[in-house]
Structure 1
Amino acid sequence: MHFHAYAYRGPGEAVQTFDAVRSPGGVGFETSPVPPERTSAWLAKPARFIKATWDDPVEAVAWLERQYAETRSSLLHPELQRHAPDVQALAAIALDTLQRGNDVVWAWWLTGGNYVDLAVVCCPNRDRDARCPLGRH
């Protein structure tokens, strides 16, 4: 198994439920950077959307932690984070989740109406329709 990283950071209004650009086969899906409705559907997008690929889930989790560190100062309601698990707990959960073959998504609303969606997708994936965009097996 290997792991692909995907990231979206942009206007939150672009992430609309049941939007064609968020569904494989929908108009604009292959060109839109907006996260798909199903996390495994990232694999149906062109390989250019992949931010990184690893064979070790520890490296994938380290990427998530770095992305969080870069995003933290832009969180919409940082005061609410005191009620949320800290990044070390999130990382431990993410590692366990990836080791079990499940995808991980970290997402937050940011200041200025922006949104960040960080995804690490297992490949091969439990979604039988998903194929590796890099052609790896």
Structure 2
Amino acid sequence: MTWSGHWHGYGPWTGSRDAYGQEALRRPGGELNSEQTRAFVASALPPLMTGHWLMRQDQTATDRTWTCAVAAATWLKSTYEANPPAERDDGGRAYVTLEDKIAHAMDSLPRGVDVCWVHYTKSQSLISFSVVCCLNHHHPGLPCPLPPA
């Protein structure tokens, strides 16, 4: 698959499982100016479809807009390291290794595939952070909220 574009980083969002489960706030409405879409754009909850992050222009930052996949993966890594996942009581592994996650991101991002990492932290909160491809394969009609400088 050939893709040309850049990436935006969103999050990290941290909250409860109950808040994360509020799916109505995690999807826009069918009409751009509908009440549901306005509520979605104003919400900080991660969208159900990663490409919908592009609708939230006020949550797009210049320091999280990249033209290099390595820079986007570095942000994912540093965000993960600052918010490590909870460990299982029995010592077993609950998640794939960070190295495997980075390898997957480095395979996916250059092909235009969004990357979203979600896990429980040691405090038992959920954390979600994403790198979204722009222009987006699944939402080609959504304009770029912040073109790279």
TM-score scaled by structure 1?
A: 0.84
Aligned mate of 1:2, from 2, 6, 22: 6
Task: Give me the identity figure in percent.
Answer: 30
DSSP-derived class of the 1:106 partner? strand
Match of 1:107 in 2: 118
CA displacement at 1:93 relative to structure 2 = 0.8
Number of aligned positions between the proteins: 132
Is contact 2:47-2:53 (8 Å) kept? yes
Q: How far apart, in 2, do the equivalents of 1:99 and 1:135 lie?
A: 17
Match of 2:32 in 1: none
- Following superposition of structure 1 onto structure 2, how do residues 1-137 of structure 1 map, counting pairs within 5 Å? 1-7=5-11, 8-16=13-21, 18-19=23-24, 21-25=25-29, 26=36, 28-46=39-57, 48-51=58-61, 52-72=64-84, 75=86, 77=88, 79-80=91-92, 82=93, 84-126=95-137, 127-134=139-146
Change (3 A) 1:77 1:131: farther
Q: How far apart, in 2, do the equivalents of 1:116 and 1:55 lie?
A: 25
DSSP-derived class of the 2:65 partner? strand
Q: How far apart, in 2, do the equivalents of 1:55 and 1:104 lie?
A: 15
Q: How far apart, in 1, do the equivalents of 2:95 and 2:26 lie?
A: 28
Is contact 2:7-2:133 (8 Å) kept? yes
Please list every run of at least 4 consecutive aligned residues from structure 1 whose deviation after the TM superposition is greater than 3 angstroms: 76-80
In the alignment, residue 94 of structure 1 is paired with which amino acid? A
TM-score scaled by structure 2?
A: 0.78
Is contact 2:60-2:146 (8 Å) kept? no
Gapped regions of structure 1 (runs ≥ 5): none
In the alignment, residue 10 of structure 1 is paired with which amino acid? G
Match of 2:33 in 1: none
CA displacement at 1:85 relative to structure 2 = 2.5
Larger radius of gyration: 2
Moved more, 94-103 or 3-12: 3-12
